[in-house]
């Protein structure tokens, strides 16, 4: 605890008003490798309303003592539970000599105790439960990917009568987090069904009967659970799990537009075959060279010379390009990861979401920017 407080004291000197101090008021072990942290702001006014599925950004001390790094952790508590956030984190050990992916989770698990202060940026993320819809919902998660599903289930159980299928896959009961909480929510009203799939169930799991299937979630599993309907799917988990589930869901006829997902990594990792099919099915439309005499804005891709007429209904430059068959890399889509950082040759943009870090001169984040004038983009990194 003393070690964590000392490091965080140095971090607090970094002048960035977006990061506010939150106190760890509870640290609860949820499974063999997953722990929850309950976070309260020192200033109650710094708690911000969030939507189920969104994440927080934490400043984490760099192992080498360099400038802090940032990591994102999904809120697993309900938006109705105000004044605190709960994040539920898997301890991700890594043997990589370079900066490991698990540096944040290792620090949280091993060094942060109740009473420590964390520097936190408010809720972000486009992976959100559509509370206005009345469609039945599939919450599909693998491993610690259950964190957004838990927040969504809390909303659905208490504020909706929609049918819900909560399907969770993990290795065994030893690493199954938040099971009792899930079961309690499912029992709180009719219309919520749970299914747990353990890849390697232990003898204790088998004797206790705490799971419903073993191995992997299969097409037969889903067909046995789900009646024909117009579902909305929210899924989160490791890339191999996401790839397999995406293929299964689309193979069962679920519209891709109804499948929302969250993971931090190249989107092309999700169902490569489906992504290739989508590229074939959505050839880049031929558009006329824009006539700028009427004041219309254009977006030009320097590498190809292609000049597109800006559609003001587009959410961002990233979504605008994607709709026209141009697929730059991205990850978070909310200005945190810099995965969509590309060159701006000329023109001006505005940001609809403030980037977490300062954007270098001559660069833009496609995911959260829109043109203020006609622009020329350098997508050499795409």
What is the CA 355 to chain-centroid distance, rounded?
Answer: 16
Per-residue confidence (pLDDT) for residue 276, from 0 to 100: 42
Domains of the chain: 2-124 (2.40.30.10), 137-279 (3.40.50.80), 292-378 (3.10.20.30)
pLDDT at 316 over 80: yes
Chain segment 141-183, per-residue pLDDT in tens: 999 999 999 999 999 999 999 999 999 999 999 999 999 999 9
Instruction: Give residue 6's pLDDT band: very low, low, confident or very high (50, 70, 90).
Output: very low
Contact (Cβ atoms closer than 8 angstroms) between residue 232 and residue 261 = no
Instruction: Give residue 93's pLDDT band: very low, low, confident or very high (50, 70, 90).
Output: confident
Alpha-helical (H) ranges within the chain are 2-11, 103-111, 146-159, 179-187, 203-208, 219-225, 239-251, 272-281, 317-322
Instruction: Check residues 296 and 5 and name the one with the higher pLDDT.
Output: 296
Query: Percent of the chain beyond pLDDT 70?
Result: 84
Contact (Cβ atoms closer than 8 angstroms) between residue 77 and residue 85 = yes
Instruction: Check residues 137 and 279 and name the one with the higher pLDDT.
Output: 137
Taking the CB of residue 260, how many other CB atoms lie within 10 A of it? Answer: 17
Tokens of 130: 């559509």
Q: Which residues contact 178 (CB under 8 A, 6 or more apart)?
A: 30, 76, 88, 146, 150
Instruction: Give residue 195's pLDDT band: very low, low, confident or very high (50, 70, 90).
Output: very high
Exposure pattern of 162-172 as b/e (b: 16+ CB <10 Å)?
A: bbbbbbbbbbb
Instruction: Check residues 265 and 2 and name the one with the higher pLDDT.
Output: 265
Instruction: Check residues 294 and 58 and name the one with the higher pLDDT.
Output: 58
Instruction: Give residue 295's pLDDT band: very low, low, confident or very high (50, 70, 90).
Output: low
Tokens of 200: 């390697």
What is the rounded distance in angstroms from the CA atom of residue 101 to the CA atom of residue 212?
Answer: 32
pLDDT at 2 over 90: no
Residue-averaged pLDDT of the chain: 85
Chain segment 204-252, per-residue pLDDT in tens: 999 999 999 999 999 999 999 999 889 999 999 998 899 999 999 999 9
What is the rounded distance in angstroms from the CA atom of residue 365 to the CA atom of residue 275?
Answer: 23
Q: Of 21-30, 100-109, 226-235, 298-307, which has the strongest mean pLDDT? A: 21-30
Chain segment 29-40, per-residue pLDDT in tens: 999 999 999 999
Instruction: Give residue 4's pLDDT band: very low, low, confident or very high (50, 70, 90).
Output: very low
Q: Please give the full DSSP string across 215-273, using - where no structure is assigned.
A: S---HHHHHHH--S---EEEEE--HHHHHHHHHHHHHTT--GGGEEEE-SS-GGGS-HH
Chain segment 199-212, per-residue pLDDT in tens: 999 999 999 999 99
Per-residue confidence (pLDDT) for residue 319, from 0 to 100: 85
Strand-pairing partners, residue 36, are 28, 88
Instruction: Check residues 305 and 336 and name the one with the higher pLDDT.
Output: 305
Looking at 91-100, 236-245, 270-279, which range is the least confident one? Answer: 270-279
pLDDT at 58 over 90: yes
Per-residue confidence (pLDDT) for residue 294, from 0 to 100: 43
Instruction: Check residues 154 and 340 and name the one with the higher pLDDT.
Output: 154
C-alpha closest to that of 92 among 51, 127, 54, 60: 60
C-alpha closest to that of 244 among 221, 212, 213: 221
Instruction: Give residue 101's pLDDT band: very low, low, confident or very high (50, 70, 90).
Output: low
Per-residue confidence (pLDDT) for residue 95, from 0 to 100: 52
Chain segment 342-382, per-residue pLDDT in tens: 999 999 999 988 887 789 999 999 988 999 999 999 998 66
Looking at 3-7, 52-56, 165-169, 231-235, which range is the least confident one? Answer: 3-7
pLDDT at 274 over 90: no
């Amino acid at each position: 605890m003393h070690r964590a407080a000392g490091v965080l004291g140095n971090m607090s000197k970094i002048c960035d008003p977006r990061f506010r101090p939150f106190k760890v008021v509870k640290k609860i072990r949820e499974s063999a490798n997953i722990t929850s942290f309950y976070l309260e702001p020192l200033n109650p006014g710094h708690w911000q309303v969030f939507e189920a599925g969104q994440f927080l950004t934490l400043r984490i001390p760099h192992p080498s003592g360099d400038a802090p790094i940032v990591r994102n952790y999904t809120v697993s508590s309900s938006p109705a539970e105000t004044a605190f956030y709960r994040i539920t984190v898997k301890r991700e050990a890594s043997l990589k000599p370079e900066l490991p992916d698990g540096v944040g989770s290792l620090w949280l698990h091993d060094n942060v105790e109740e009473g420590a202060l964390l520097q936190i940026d408010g809720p972000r993320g486009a992976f959100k439960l559509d509370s206005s819809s009345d469609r039945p919902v599939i919450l599909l998660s693998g491993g610690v990917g259950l964190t957004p599903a838990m927040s969504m289930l809390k909303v659905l159980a208490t504020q909706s009568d929609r049918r819900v299928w909560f399907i969770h896959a993990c290795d065994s009961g030893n690493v199954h987090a938040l099971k009792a909480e899930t079961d309690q929510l499912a029992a709180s009203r009719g219309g919520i069904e749970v299914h747990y799939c353990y890849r390697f169930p232990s003898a204790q799991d088998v004797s206790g009967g705490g799971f419903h299937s073993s191995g992997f979630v299969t097409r037969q599993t889903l067909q046995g659970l789900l009646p024909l309907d117009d579902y909305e799917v929210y899924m989160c988990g490791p890339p191999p799990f996401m790839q397999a589930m995406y293929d299964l869901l689309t193979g069962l006829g679920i519209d891709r537009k109804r499948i929302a997902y969250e993971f931090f990594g190249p989107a092309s990792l999700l169902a490569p075959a489906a992504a290739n099919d989508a590229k074939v099915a959505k050839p880049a439309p031929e558009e006329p060279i824009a006539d700028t005499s009427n004041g219309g804005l254009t977006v030009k891709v320097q590498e190809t010379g292609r000049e597109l007429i800006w559609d003001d209904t587009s959410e961002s430059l990233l979504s605008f390009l994607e709709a026209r068959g141009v697929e730059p890399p991205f990850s978070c889509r909310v200005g945190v990861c810099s995965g969509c950082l590309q060159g701006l040759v000329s023109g001006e943009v505005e940001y609809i979401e403030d980037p977490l870090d300062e954007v270098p001169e001559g660069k833009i984040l496609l995911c959260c920017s829109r043109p203020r004038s006609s622009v020329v983009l350098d997508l050499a990194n795409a």
